[in-house]
Amino acid sequence: MPIPNRLRDKEFTIPEDITKSAEKGLSYELYKKLLFKYGKRGEKAFIYLKEDRIKKYLDFFVVVGENEYIVEDDFCTCRDFQINLKGRKPCAHILAVKIAKVTGGYRKYNKYYIDYMIDKRLR
Ligand SMILES: [Zn+2]
């Protein structure tokens, strides 16, 4: 479900001062900046990073929250993003993946998540 550009909030791009902090690691400074800019979603993103909940498959990034959520660029499969935010602002998972791309803070899996999903459905 692609989202038309005109509906997008410019906040989808992480501000430079936040990426600069992220380059230095998961510091309190980064935590404060995420909280200030994105509220509780920013805080949650920081916790996902801190708890090592971001996985990179060959096809998608996946964030492990209550469920596993697929994140691809500016899209996430969670309810918060699709229902509350109506795809117009980034959810905690999208933020976590964007920061993880800067810090390298994700686990790499040498397989396709889509295969894992199909296995799960067929069981
Ligand atoms: Zn999400």
**Residue 75 CA to ligand 1 centre (angstroms):** 8
How far, in Å, from the CA of 45 to the mean position of ligand 1? Answer: 10
- For residue 102, the CA-to-ligand 1 centroid distance in Å is 18
Mean pLDDT by 10 residues, the chain (123 residues): 56 90 96 97 98 96 95 94 96 97 96 86 72
Query: How high is the pLDDT of residue 119?
Result: 81
User: How far is CA 92 from its chain centroid?
Assistant: 6
Rounded distance from Cα 63 to ligand 1 centre (Å): 8
Three-state SS for 21-65 is HHHCCCCHHHHHHHHHHHCHHHHHHHHHHHCCCEEECCCCEEEEC
pLDDT in the model for residue 8? 55
Phi-psi domain of 7 (left: phi exceeds 0; alpha: psi -120 through 50; beta: other): alpha
**How far does residue 80's CA lie from ligand 1's centre (Å)?**
6
Domain regions of the chain by residue span:
13-122
